[in-house]
Each structure stands twice: as C-alpha cells, then as structure tokens.
C-alpha cells in the first residue's frame, strides 16, 4: 500500500513542520528576500499598495490618510521585516530542518506569505472574481499566476495546520 504524502504544513506534538521540497524552500526564501527589498525601497512603489491600504476612503480625507500613512508606515514596515527575519531563521541555510516551528514562527510565515501574495496580486491585478483556472499556459504571465496559486495553496495549508 502506498504511503500517503505528508501535507506541506502539519501540526506535530512539538510544533509545526514545513514539509517543503528544497526547490520550494529556496523559492520561498528568494521571494521573501525580494519582499524585503521592496519594503526597504521607495514608499511610492505601487506594488506595495495592498500592503499599506488606504485608511480613510471618503472624498476630502486625503490629508488624514496621508498623515496616517506617515505615522504608521514605519511601524508596519518594521513589523513585516521582523516577520521576514523570523522566516529567514526558520527556513534559511543555518536553520535546523528537523526543528519544529513554534506557533509564533508559523504566524510570521503566514504574514510573510500573505504579504507576498498581496504584492504579486497587485502586480497581476488579481481580484475576488478572478478564477485561476481561466489562465491558460499560453498567457504571458502564466508563470506568475502559477506562483500566486502556489503561495495561496501554501498559505491555505498553514491556516489548516494552525486550526487543527
């Protein structure tokens, strides 16, 4: 009888285990590095729009939103960078692959994955009504859409593990 494959993320008695292939782990780490570079780059980068959404939506509230962004952006960036650093510690070259992740470490991973999805979703202009099945392999951005699907799949497994 064939052994059932391990889920990509699972809860164990001692914490959480990421069962990623080396290529998947390397991809996630590379993407986390790219997200870090974006966060440390210019504030006006449109790809970060969904990471720092508008707080005030009413006409005439632009000045209040600008002030909110000015006051909060540094804290939000610092929080995301802290999470990315934690992910690096868990998945990086110096990490112990056999060591389980704590809930705090998995939550940092979830935050970082979601940040990646938000940035990629902004670049692809993904909306709630979009169906990934509508993207054919001949689409010019098929690879990016597949990457978005992979990140979504991995995020879903993280949430399942946290809820189990």
- Contacts of residues 47-50 at CB distance under 8 Å and 24 or more positions apart, as own/partner, are 47/119, 47/122, 47/123, 48/119, 48/122, 49/122, 50/118, 50/119, 50/121, 50/122
Least confident of 68-77, 124-133, 140-149: 124-133
pLDDT at 2 over 70: no
Closest C-alpha to 105, from 26, 9, 31? 9
Query: What is the percentage of the chain residues whose pLDDT exceeds 90?
Result: 57
Does an H or E element contain 15, and which? strand 15-18
The predicted-structure confidence for 18-50, as pLDDT tens digits, reads as follows: 999 989 999 999 999 999 999 999 888 999 989
**Domain residue spans of the chain:** 26-163
- Enter the tokens of residue 164: 């189990």
The alpha carbon of residue 63 and the mean position of all alpha carbons in its chain are separated, in whole angstroms, by 30
pLDDT at 148 over 90: yes
Looking at residue 126, its pLDDT comes to 85
Q: How many C-beta atoms surround the C-beta of residue 49 within 10 A?
A: 13
Looking at residue 54, its pLDDT comes to 85
Mean predicted confidence (pLDDT) in 106-128 = 92
Looking at residue 128, its pLDDT comes to 76
- Assign 93 a pLDDT band (cuts: 50, 70, 90): low
CB 20 within 8 A of CB 28: yes
Mean predicted confidence (pLDDT) in 141-155 = 91
């Amino acid at each position: 009888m064939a052994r059932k494959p391990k889920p990509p993320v699972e809860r164990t008695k001692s914490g959480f285990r990421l069962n990623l292939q080396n290529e998947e782990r390397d991809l996630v780490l590379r993407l986390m590095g790219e997200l870090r570079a974006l966060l440390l780059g210019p504030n006006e980068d449109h790809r970060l729009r969904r990471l720092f959404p508008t707080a005030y939506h009413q006409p005439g509230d632009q000045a209040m939103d600008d002030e909110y962004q000015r006051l909060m952006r540094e804290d939000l960036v610092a929080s995301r960078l802290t999470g990315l650093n934690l992910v690096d510690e868990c998945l990086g070259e110096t990490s112990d692959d056999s060591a389980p992740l704590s809930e705090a470490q998995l939550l940092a991973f979830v935050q970082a994955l979601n940040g990646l999805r938000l940035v990629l979703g902004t670049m692809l202009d993904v909306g709630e009504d979009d169906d990934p099945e509508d993207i054919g392999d001949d689409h010019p951005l098929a690879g990016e859409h597949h990457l978005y699907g992979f990140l979504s799949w991995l995020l879903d497994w993280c949430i399942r593990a946290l809820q189990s």
